[in-house]
């Protein structure tokens, strides 16, 4: 069979390929714009970031062709352990021998070439998860299977955290959605979101408000488990709301200065209220398991609230603490840590509806926003292309993610299905965090916009990630 016969015999999803080409082309254009200077217009010069990105785009295209036509899709399942172990070894080597860039020790230097094993680890982890979870009779509800999956995720996450590459580590949170689609209880996702909510409330306001929020959450859980207790609901919520207004009757210095108002005493009051729910419940309809579960949830929530100070001040790095404080409005510093986001908002807002035009962005041209060709590439799009251009980019990503999920759900091959969900989750996390970062919705953690941000390792890894799925999906469709 000739090469042309191979091409004609394949049924690749050309819509995914088209979106990929559009995003890469848009990325090169905006990188060129972000580094453009009067009198220096050479697009193809390897001395410029635009020229280097064009070179990496060519290399990525070659890799895509190899994946589509030369590599058998069977190797991804058979050799997933080998790929995963190889990247874990590289991550360990990076922790010991890595080059520090921007506060993150996540780069390995081979002469003039530098690459990030953390970027490639997302692919190998996705392949490893797909291989393990697609085994015959695999059920995520079984503890040993869940523990195996958790270990696969936690090992690279821990190593990436040691490299101080927080952004890449957070991307792994997206795998939770894959586990949910494959049978994990939605309560686990809700549990994680509630922990984050308690952390933010406690950090933003006070320990008391954290405990108060914990009480409210547990009351909702308790009443959800006992939906028939209408009169008891009214009574409990009356007490709860009354407790909310109690601190406002006292001076703030009294809360800070008198031992009777310390959080430990509020914990005692709240515990009494939770315990009182037992007395308001009809004993003949009382479910002890529900009561113990809600009580355990409350005690864990209290533990989370009291651990916020330890986690924030002892575990997080100083620059991470400052960025979180800036995001939550605890400290305003638009000339320090908040400078990037402040200038990014100005750039995006100044673009208006249709933008200032290609190469005409003043914020972009005069380098007001640092890292404008990498982490903050979206502010270049917002300034020069405006709201319409930004919306077009967002819709492209939404279409790409939706298409991957749709094709995955239709696949008859379990390995392909799970891998496709992993691809969608990884791209979504990068897309959401990067754009949210540029408009001040999430902390600045340094994470590229897929296919658009400058970076050879990033473009190459995202290309491999996507085209492995395209090949697997094509092969799955051919067999069905």
Residue 178 lies in a domain: yes
Q: Quote the Cα angle for 28-32-38, to 5°.
A: 165
Residue 243 lies in a domain: yes
Give backbone dihedrals phi and psi of 410, rounded to 5 degrees, phi first: -85, -15
Q: Is 161 in the same domain as 120? A: yes
- Is 288 within 8 Å of 280 (Cβ atoms)? no
- Which of the pair, 247 or 412, is modelled with greater confidence? 412
Q: Is the pLDDT of residue 458 over 60?
A: yes
Residue 162 lies in a domain: yes
Q: Is the pLDDT of residue 210 over 60?
A: yes
Q: Is 206 in the same domain as 292? A: yes
- Which of the pair, 41 or 216, is modelled with greater confidence? 216
Q: Binning pLDDT at 50, 70 and 90, where does residue 56 land?
A: very high
Q: Which pair of tokens denotes residue 396?
A: 């492209």
Nearest to 294 by CA among 229, 236, 217: 217
Does the pTM of the predicted model rise above 0.85? no
User: Hey, is 167 helix, strand or coil?
Assistant: helix
Mean per-residue pLDDT over the chain, rounded: 79
- The pLDDT score that the predictor gives to residue 271 is 58
- The pLDDT score that the predictor gives to residue 3 is 46
Count other C-beta atoms under 10 Å from residue 155's C-beta.
17
Residue 288 lies in a domain: yes
Q: Is 162 in the same domain as 264? A: no
pLDDT tens per residue across span 407-424:
999 998 999 999 999 999
Domain of residue 139 covers 73-184
Q: For 43, how many CA atoms within 13 A lie in the half-sphere containing its CB?
A: 9
Q: Which residue among 129, 153, 184 closes a domain?
A: 184
Q: Which pair of tokens denotes residue 14?
A: 């050309």
Residue 239 lies in a domain: yes
Q: Is 180 in the same domain as 214? A: no
Residue 139 lies in a domain: yes
Residue 144 lies in a domain: yes
Per mean pLDDT, which range of 159-163, 296-300, 335-339 is the poorest? 335-339
| Sequential DSSP letters for 314-382 | IIS-HHHHHHHHHHTTSS--TTTTTHHHHHHHHHHHHTTTT-S-TT--HHHHTT-STTTTTTTHHHHHH
Q: Is 225 in the same domain as 264? A: yes
Residue 305 lies in a domain: yes
Helix (H) or strand (E) holding 461: helix 456-479
Q: Is 206 in the same domain as 259? A: yes
Q: Is 127 in the same domain as 216? A: no
Longest dimension (CA), the chain: 85
Instruction: Please state the rounded mean pLDDT for residues 110-139.
Output: 88
Taking CA atoms, 80 is separated from 43, 123, 274, in Å, by 39, 10, 49
Give backbone dihedrals phi and psi of 37, rounded to 5 degrees, phi first: -140, 145
Q: How many domains is the chain partitioned into structurally?
A: 2
Q: Is 215 in the same domain as 257? A: yes
Q: Is 117 in the same domain as 203? A: no
User: Hey, is 114 helix, strand or coil?
Assistant: strand
- Paired strand residues for 37: 40
pLDDT tens per residue across span 218-243:
766 666 655 544 445 555 555 555 55
- The pLDDT score that the predictor gives to residue 248 is 47
Burial category of 40 from C-beta neighbours within 10 Å (exposed 0-12, middle 13-18, buried 19 and up): exposed
- Is 221 within 8 Å of 213 (Cβ atoms)? no
Q: Is 172 in the same domain as 238? A: no
Nearest to 408 by CA among 143, 133, 160, 167: 133
Q: Which pair of tokens denotes residue 50?
A: 């635009």
Q: Is the pLDDT of residue 254 over 60?
A: no
Q: Is 205 in the same domain as 303? A: yes
Q: How far apart are CA 181 and CA 185, in angstroms?
A: 9
Q: Which residue among 260, 289, 315 closes a domain?
A: 315
Instruction: Please state the rounded mean pLDDT for residues 269-293.
Output: 58
Q: Is the pLDDT of residue 432 over 50?
A: yes
- The pLDDT score that the predictor gives to residue 446 is 77
Q: Is 221 in the same domain as 286? A: yes
Q: Which residue among 281, 315, 349 closes a domain?
A: 315
Nearest to 476 by CA among 419, 423, 397, 425: 419
Instruction: Please state the rounded mean pLDDT for residues 99-127.
Output: 81
In 114-249, where does DSSP find H-type helix? 117-133, 143-162, 166-171, 175-181, 186-204, 207-225, 230-245
- Which of the pair, 460 or 222, is modelled with greater confidence? 460
Q: Binning pLDDT at 50, 70 and 90, where does residue 309 land?
A: confident
Taking CA atoms, 123 is separated from 161, 175, 395, in Å, by 18, 12, 24
The 8-class DSSP code of residue 98 comes to P
């Amino acid at each position: 069979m000739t090469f042309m016969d191979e091409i004609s015999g394949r049924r690749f999803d050309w819509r995914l390929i088209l979106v990929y080409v559009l995003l890469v082309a848009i990325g090169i254009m905006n990188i060129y714009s972000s580094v453009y200077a009067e009198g220096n217009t050479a697009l193809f010069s390897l001395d410029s970031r635009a020229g280097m990105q064009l070179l990496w785009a060519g290399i990525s295209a070659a890799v895509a062709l190899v994946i589509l036509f030369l590599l058998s899709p069977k190797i991804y399942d058979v050799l997933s352990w080998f790929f995963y172990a190889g990247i874990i070894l590289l991550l360990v080597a990076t922790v010991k021998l890595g080059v520090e860039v921007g506060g993150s020790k996540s780069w390995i230097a081979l002469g003039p070439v530098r690459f990030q094993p953390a970027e490639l680890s997302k692919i190998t982890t996705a392949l490893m998860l797909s291989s393990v979870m697609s085994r015959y009779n695999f059920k995520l509800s079984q503890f040993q299977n869940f523990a195996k999956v958790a270990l696969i995720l936690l090992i690279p996450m821990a190593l990436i955290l040691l490299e101080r590459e927080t952004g890449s580590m957070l991307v792994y949170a997206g795998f939770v959605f894959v586990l949910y689609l494959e049978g994990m209880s939605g309560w686990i996702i809700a549990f994680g979101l509630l922990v984050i909510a308690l952390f933010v409330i406690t950090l933003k306001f006070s320990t008391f408000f954290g405990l108060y929020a914990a009480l409210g959450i547990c009351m909702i859980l308790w009443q959800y488990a006992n939906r028939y207790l209408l009169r008891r609901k009214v009574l409990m919520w009356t007490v709860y709301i009354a407790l909310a207004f109690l601190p406002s009757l006292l001076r703030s210095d009294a809360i800070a200065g008198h031992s009777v108002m310390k959080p430990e005493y509020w914990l005692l009051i709240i515990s009494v209220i939770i315990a009182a729910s037992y007395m308001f419940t009809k004993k003949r309809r009382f479910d002890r398991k529900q009561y113990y579960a809600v009580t355990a949830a409350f005690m864990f929530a209290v533990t989370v609230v009291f651990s916020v100070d330890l986690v924030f001040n002892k575990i997080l790095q100083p620059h991470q603490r400052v960025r979180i404080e800036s995001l939550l409005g605890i400290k305003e510093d638009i000339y320090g840590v908040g400078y990037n986001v402040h200038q990014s908002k100005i750039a995006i807002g100044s673009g208006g509806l249709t933008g200032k035009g290609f190469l005409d962005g003043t914020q972009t041209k005069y380098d007001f926003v640092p890292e404008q060709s990498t982490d903050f590439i979206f502010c270049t799009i917002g300034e020069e292309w405006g709201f319409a251009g930004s919306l077009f980019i967002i819709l492209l990503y939404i279409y790409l993610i939706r298409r991957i999920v749709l094709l995955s759900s239709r696949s008859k091959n379990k390995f392909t299905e799970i891998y496709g969900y992993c691809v969608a989750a990884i791209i979504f996390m990068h897309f959401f965090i990067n754009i949210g970062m540029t408009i001040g919705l999430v902390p600045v953690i340094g994470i590229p916009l897929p296919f658009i941000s400058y970076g050879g390792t990033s473009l190459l890894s995202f290309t491999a990630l996507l085209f492995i799925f395209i090949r697997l999906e094509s092969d799955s469709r051919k067999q069905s």
